[in-house]
Structure 1
Amino acid sequence: MSLVGKKIEEFKLDAYDSKNDKFVTVSNEDLAGKWTVFMFYPADFTFVCPTELEDMQEHYSTLKSLNTEVYSVSTDTHFVHKAWHDHSQAISKLEFTMIGDPQKDLTQKLDVLGEDGLAQRGTFIIDPDGIIQSIEINSGNMGRDASLVVDKIKAQQFLRENPGEVCPAKWKETGKSLTPGLDLVGKI
C-alpha cells in the first residue's frame, strides 16, 4: 500500500547538523509547519551518494526560500556522518542535517530498506501537516537530480494553494494548470 497521502509516523533519531557542526535529535515534530525533503541514500564513504548530496546542497538555498528543509538519511550513525563531513570535499559543503538511522527505524517505516540492509535511494516530499505528498525510489546505481525536487516542491505548493487544480506533465511555476471537469474529458 502506498505511503502517499499518509501522515509520517513518529520517529526520533540522532543526526549531524553539518551547518552548525553539532549533534542533534530530529523527530517528526521537527517537520511541522514546513515542507520537508527526506533524501535516503545507501551509505557514507561511497561513490554516487556524495554526488547526490552535493547536488542537493547546490539547490538547498532555493529549497530554504520555499520554506523547505532537507534531511539526508542513511543507516550509518550520526558519528559516521560527522567523519564523512570532515573528510570529503563534497560532503564538507553540506548545510543540511544528516540523519543517522542505524536501527533502521525510519528506513523501515518509509519502506526504503533494501535487502542488503542499506537504505535505497528514496526521495520523500512531506507537506507542513506531515503528510507524504511524493515518493521516488531509484536503483542503487543511479543518482538523482535535485533540480527535479525543487520543481516538485513548487508544484506541491501551488496545488496546496489552489485546491481543485492539477499540474500537467512538465509543469513549471509559470505554467498553466488544469481544472479537471467535464469540458476537458477526451480533449487533452
Structure 2
Amino acid sequence: MALIGSMILPFTAQAYKEGKFVEVTDADTRGKWAVFFFYPADFTFVCPTELEDLADIYPQLQKMGVEVYSVSTDTHFSHKAWHDTSPAIGKINYYMLGDQNHNLSTNFQVLREGQGLADRGTFVVDPEGVIQLVEITSEGVGRNAAELLRKIKAAQYIAAHPGEVCPAKWEEGEATLAPSLDLVGKI
C-alpha cells in the first residue's frame, strides 16, 4: 500500500449532510484539509461509536480548516435513515458519503474483496489533494478521534514548518525536532 504521498483519485459521490442530499467530488476537497473516514456499514456496532466520537470533535476540525467525509458502501439514503433513527449518528454534521459503486473504497484501497464492505480506514489529505496520513484497523478495533485530532495538528504543523518534524506524543505547542547530522545517535 503506497498511498502516503499520492494524490487522491477523481471521484463523484452522493452524500447526506445536514438534512440534504448533496454531490461531492474530489474537486470539492481541494484547498482545505480533508479526512476520509471509512467504516464497514451503517446500522452496526463499533461504527456508530466511532462516528459519534468524530462528530464530537468536528467543530474543532472545522476551526482548523478540516472537512470530514465519512464513507461506507451504503447509499446516501441509508445514511439519512441511520441519521434519523440513531441518537449517536444524529449528532453528525459532516458529510456521509455513499459508496455503493465501491469507487472510493477501491481508490483508497480499503474495499474488502468479495464482501462489498470497506475496512476501517482513516486518510488525512492536505489542501493539494495529497494523502498525508493512513490508518487502517481491523473490524473490531475502534478508532480514537482525539488521537486523529493530534495527528492532524502535527501534519498541519510540519506542512507549515518545512525542515521540522514532530516526535512521538507531540502535542501542539511542544518542541519539535529539526533533523540534521548533529542529531544522529543523540536522541
Matched AA of 1:126: V
Matched AA of 1:78: H
Give CA-to-partner distance per residue, 1:121-146, whole Å, 9 cap, x none: 00000000000000000001111000
- Corresponding residue of 1:167: 166
What is the percentage of aligned positions where both structures have the same residue? 56
Matched AA of 1:55: D
- Corresponding residue of 2:35: 37
- Corresponding residue of 2:182: 183
Matched AA of 1:41: Y
Alignment partners' CA distance in 1, 2:181 and 2:84: 58
- Corresponding residue of 1:143: 142
Gaps of 5+ in 1: none
Alignment partners' CA distance in 2, 1:131 and 1:3: 9
1:106-145 mapped onto 2 (5 Å cutoff): 106-115=104-113, 116-145=115-144
- Corresponding residue of 1:101: 99
Give the match's secondary structure for 2:69: strand
Give CA-to-partner distance per residue, 1:56-110, whole Å, 9 cap, x none: 0010011011000001000000000001011111111110010000010010010
Alignment partners' CA distance in 2, 1:132 and 1:163: 17
- Corresponding residue of 1:60: 58
Alignment partners' CA distance in 1, 2:143 and 2:164: 28
- Corresponding residue of 2:47: 49
Alignment partners' CA distance in 2, 1:185 and 1:118: 44
- Corresponding residue of 2:11: 11
Give the aligned CA root-mean-square deviation in angstroms: 0.7
Alignment partners' CA distance in 1, 2:148 and 2:12: 24
TM-score (norm 1): 0.97
Alignment partners' CA distance in 2, 1:38 and 1:55: 15
Gaps of 5+ in 2: none
Give CA-to-partner distance per residue, 1:16-75, whole Å, 9 cap, x none: 11x2x0000011001111100010000000000000000000100110110000010000
TM-score (norm 2): 0.98
Alignment partners' CA distance in 2, 1:140 and 1:117: 14
Alignment partners' CA distance in 2, 1:130 and 1:42: 24
Q: How many residues align?
A: 186
